[in-house]
């Protein structure tokens, strides 16, 4: 494997907030002969994963699986439900929300963008106010990012649903869960989400290459009237083929083997335990950051992400030089600052296939890196995390 270390040994620490570490069980599941995607064996696999994946979205509705990155699922959500010139309301939680907005603009949609400072969650009251003004119901969809991966801030989706209902507004609700699905509690049906967008390479512990749209009855109805051009992303042909476990074009057969295994792992651990594990590790990571005397990017204590922690570099110190040192000295990848946060923050991914010692190793790499790079900090971050982890039962609910 290509690495900057001259003599790497042991496992690389891939502690970016996606792609995440792929469990050996999943790698072994992927390592099988590719089969005829129109043959009988494939149909059984297709039906199993299409049904099994619903559980992770906490939905009874269909979930469509595309062979694509998450960006494709963003596009699919919009082109299947909207028409040229339609207005959509989006919220600037950070870099990923800004990219989704850019994509919507390129498709010919009119975007109302609620501005944000990249340090706070979605303000449901601001959405309610904007929808209340829209008495003509020109806004066709509200699009929000559940876990903003560029900032480490998680938004309250139930509150967004309540804002839409409170305004008695018919807009569809679309939610990006690319870095929260399988890590942070998410309820497609209960929260009345119309399209949930997800990807394989974060909480689902798979390599990049699969993307998802969970649908609602209203989203499916909207697909009948939507006039944005769509072909590859069209839900209708997909759902028709999915009924018997097949796809309208060649699916990512081997990634679907992996998905089957990853779903089994999530089921065996239990989703409540998976969510509790993530929030516990996030809490330990924040204790380390506090002990170091460094600043979290996330400012709202109710919205700190359980999937990743973004840390602001002290004045005069670049995050990229620090990350480079950590990679070269300790063979660990940390997440970079994205967009306007470039070189200003580093991000610690603690999602997916992850345990107490993975966290301790990750935090030790950060603490050694801070010392080696001469970044002003207090020692004791790893110690604070260890004391917390030792004192808390691993299975304790959040």
Residues at the interface with ligand PLP (CB under 6 A): 18, 69-71, 96, 145, 149, 176, 178-179, 199, 208
- Distance in Å, CB of 349 to ligand PLP, minimum: 10
Distance of CA 97 to the CA centre of its chain: 12
Is 280 part of any known ligand binding site?
A: no
- Distance in Å, CB of 323 to ligand PLP, minimum: 18
Q: Are 362 and 322 in contact (CB under 8 A)?
A: no
Q: How far is CA 331 from CA 5, 265, 278, in A?
A: 7, 27, 23
In DSSP terms, which residues pair with 148 in a beta bridge? 153
User: CB-based contacts of 228: which residues, under 8 Å, 6+ apart?
Assistant: 78, 79, 82, 83, 84, 107, 108, 109
Residue 145 vs 282, nearer CB to ligand PLP: 145
Q: How far is CA 291 from CA 141, 279, 317, in A?
A: 42, 18, 19
Residue 188 vs 377, nearer CB to ligand PLP: 188
Residue 309 vs 370, nearer CB to ligand PLP: 309
- Distance in Å, CB of 102 to ligand PLP, minimum: 12
- Distance in Å, CB of 147 to ligand PLP, minimum: 6
Residue 178 vs 287, nearer CB to ligand PLP: 178
Nearest residue to the partner ligand PLP, using Cβ: 70
Residue 102 vs 236, nearer CB to ligand PLP: 102
If residue 112 lies in a helix (H) or strand (E), which one and from where to where? strand 110-114
- Distance in Å, CB of 398 to ligand PLP, minimum: 21
376: number of CA atoms within 13 Å, CB side? 6
In DSSP terms, which residues pair with 49 in a beta bridge? none
Q: Indicate the annotated binding residues for substrate.
A: 347
Q: Extract the annotated binding site.
A: 347
């Amino acid at each position: 494997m290509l690495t900057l270390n001259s003599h790497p040994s042991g496992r690389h620490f891939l502690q970016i907030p996606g792609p995440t570490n792929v469990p050996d069980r999943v790698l072994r599941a992927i390592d099988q002969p590719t089969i005829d995607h129109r043959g009988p064996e494939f149909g059984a696999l297709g039906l199993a994963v299409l049904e099994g994946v619903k559980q992770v979205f906490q939905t009874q509705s269909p979930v469509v699986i595309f062979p694509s990155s998450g960006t494709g699922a963003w596009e699919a959500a919009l082109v299947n439900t909207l028409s040229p010139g339609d207005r959509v309301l989006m919220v600037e939680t950070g870099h990923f929300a800004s990219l989704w907005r850019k994509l919507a603009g390129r498709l010919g949609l009119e975007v109302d963008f609620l501005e944000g400072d990249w340090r706070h969650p979605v303000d449901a009251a601001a959405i309610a106010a904007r929808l209340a003004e829209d008495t003509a119901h020109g806004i066709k969809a509200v699009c929000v990012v559940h876990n903003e991966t560029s900032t480490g801030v998680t938004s309250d989706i139930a509150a967004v649903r309540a804002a839409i209902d409170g305004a008695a507004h018919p807009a569809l609700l679309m939610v990006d869960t690319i870095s929260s699905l399988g890590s942070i509690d998410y309820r497609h049906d209960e929260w009345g989400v119309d399209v949930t967008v997800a990807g394989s390479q974060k909480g689902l512990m798979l390599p990049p290459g699969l993307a998802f749209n969970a649908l609602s009855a209203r989203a499916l109805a909207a697909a009948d009237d939507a006039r944005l051009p769509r072909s590859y992303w069209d839900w209708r042909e997909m759902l028709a083929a999915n009924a018997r476990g097949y796809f309208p074009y060649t699916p990512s057969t081997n990634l679907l083997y992996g998905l089957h295994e990853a779903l089994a792992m999530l089921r065996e651990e239990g989703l409540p335990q998976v969510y509790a594990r993530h929030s516990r590790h996030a809490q330990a990571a924040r204790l380390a950051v506090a002990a170091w005397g460094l600043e979290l990017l996330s400012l709202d204590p109710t919205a700190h992400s359980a999937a990743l922690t973004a840390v602001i570099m002290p004045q005069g110190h670049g995050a990229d030089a620090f990350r480079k040192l950590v990679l070269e000295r300790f063979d660990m990848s940390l997440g970079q600052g994205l967009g306007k946060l470039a070189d200003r923050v580093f991000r610690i991914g603690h999602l997916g296939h992850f345990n107490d010692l993975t966290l301790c190793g990750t935090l030790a790499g950060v603490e050694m890196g801070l010392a080696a790079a001469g970044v002003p900090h207090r020692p004791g971050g790893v110690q604070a995390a260890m004391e917390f982890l030792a004192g808390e039962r691993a299975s304790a609910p959040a």
